[in-house]
Every structure is written in C-alpha cells, then in structure tokens.
Amino acid sequence: MRILIAEDDQVLADGLLRTLRGSGAAVNHVANGAEADAALMTQPSQFDLLILDLGLPKLHGLEVLQRLRARGASLPVLILTAADSVEDRVQGLDYGADDYMAKPFSLQELEARVRALTRRGLGAASGLIRHGPLVYGQAGHVATIDGRLVELSARELGLLEVLLQRCGRLVSKDQLVDRLCEWGEEVSNNAIEVYIHRLRKKIEGGPIRIATVRGLGYCLERIQPEAAVGVDSDSPSLA
C-alpha cells in the first residue's frame, strides 16, 4: 500500500510517517498544496490513499481535493483538519472526501480508518483478502494458507498485498516498484525478482502460484490443469 500525506505540520507529519511505515505502508510526504497537486497530477495511479490537511500553504486542501476529483480520480481521501464544525465536515465531504478526522486525533484510530478506506477499494469489508486457501489480513499484516501462518518479511507482505489486489491480472516490475517504494528509494528489477522468488517459495506448493509472463510481469493465480503457453512459474536465477 502506498500513501501520500499532504501536511505542513512537520511534527505531525513525522508521527504519521513513523506510524504508517510501521504498519508496512510505503509513504510519501509533501508540505504544501501545490506539491500535493503536482504529485497527484503526475502520479495518480501510484497511490492507494491521500491523507490531506486542509490548511495547506500555496494551495488550500479543498482546492487540491476539488482538482483531484475534477480529473476523475477515485483515489480515497482522508481529510485532517483543525476545523471541526458541521459545516466544515459537510464541505469536505461534498468536495469528494471519503472520511474526515479533526485534530487532535488518535494515531491508532487513524490507522483503523486508513485500513477501512483501503478495504473499500478492494471490496474486502472484513479486512481479509482471500484467494482460494490464501488469506491476507490487513489489520495484522498476516498471511495464512489453509489456516497455516506464512512467515513473510515486510517487503514480502507488501508484494503479496499488491498481487492480491490484482488477482488474475498481470503486474509489471515497474508497477511493483511504484507500489512498494517511496520517492528516492531505489529498487532494481533484479531485486524485485529476488523478492518474487522468496515469496514464491513460501506460498507455492498448493493450488496457488505466482506465474511469470516473460517480459510482461507477474500474476497471482490458481493452478490450472494445464499451464498456459508462455507462462512460467519457475523462479529467476539468483546470483
């Protein structure tokens, strides 16, 4: 999961970054509305959630939100603001926000709201993403197969979540990098292959596999009686 935080209070932003990164999310931060608008304009599909302060310098948060929705983006938006009147809440929601939190707030509650908003996009109201015997719990960041716990690193859990969100569809290496990495974090295609190899070893052996379509990407799927032509489930060679 990748989140964009638009917040000009650096102390609060640092707290949000620590909390959400600790939950396994890749998080980017901008400190004014102009930077938020630019990031959302050039990279809208890279984010799963926008946490938006209203009182931003250079461009007000409501203007950022209005421009985002005018471009047709359905990105979930959680508003953070010191203004807590009914009128303020109604205005934010009418502009296209999905949820609203007044400052000060509990970081634990914010984490729960973040999970709820990202679940809506997945159609997983229970917080569990299922693919056959494979179950991923967003709240605890736990994966099980037939009820058996699968021990995964933070990077492997992030990779699994991205693949589960797109079950049956190809995910390219570039898309994986976009979803797993923050700005300035360099992850090579070879590193993605290594992460795929490690994840594959831990979850395969039953009816689930990570198929590789050469030159195109990866797909999480159920094993069929006959593998499709051009699809390879063997891991890449590792140095």
Per-residue model confidence (pLDDT) at position 50: 95
pLDDT digits (tens, 9 = 90+) for 126-144: 567 778 788 887 666 788 8
Q: Residue 155 and residue 135: Cα distance in Å, rounded? A: 17
Q: Residue 234 and residue 211: Cα distance in Å, rounded? A: 8
Looking only at the bridges linking them, the beta strands covering 134-137 and 128-131 are antiparallel
Looking only at the bridges linking them, the beta strands covering 99-102 and 77-81 are parallel
pLDDT digits (tens, 9 = 90+) for 30-50: 999 999 999 999 876 778 899
Dihedral of the alpha carbons of 31, 34, 37, 40, in degrees to the nearest 10: -50
Q: Which of 212, 213, 176 is nearest to 191 (CA)?
A: 176
Dihedral of the alpha carbons of 141, 17, 49, 151, in degrees to the nearest 10: -20
Q: Which of 2, 8, 105 is nearest to 46 (CA)?
A: 2
Q: Which CATH architecture has domain 128-232?
A: Orthogonal Bundle (1.10)
Residue 159 half-sphere exposure, CB side, CA atoms within 13 Å? 27
- The domains of the chain are located at 2-122, 128-232
Q: What is the DSSP string of 194-209?
A: HHHHHHHHHH-SSSEE
- φ/ψ of 3, rounded to 5, equals -125, 140
Residue pLDDT tens, the chain, 239 long? 789 999 999 999 999 999 888 877 888 999 999 999 999 998 767 788 999 999 899 999 999 999 999 988 888 999 988 876 777 778 888 888 999 998 888 898 998 888 888 766 555 445 677 787 888 876 667 888 888 888 888 888 888 888 887 877 888 888 888 777 766 667 777 888 888 999 998 888 778 888 888 888 898 887 754 544 444 444 443 33
Yes or no: is domain 2-122 CATH 3.40.50.300? Answer: no
Cβ atoms of 80 and 53 closer than 8 Å: yes
Per-residue model confidence (pLDDT) at position 56: 94
CA–CA distances in Å: residue 48 to residues 17, 180, 233? 15, 11, 28
Whole-model pTM: value is 0.64
Q: Which of 186, 179, 182 is nearest to 161 (CA)?
A: 179
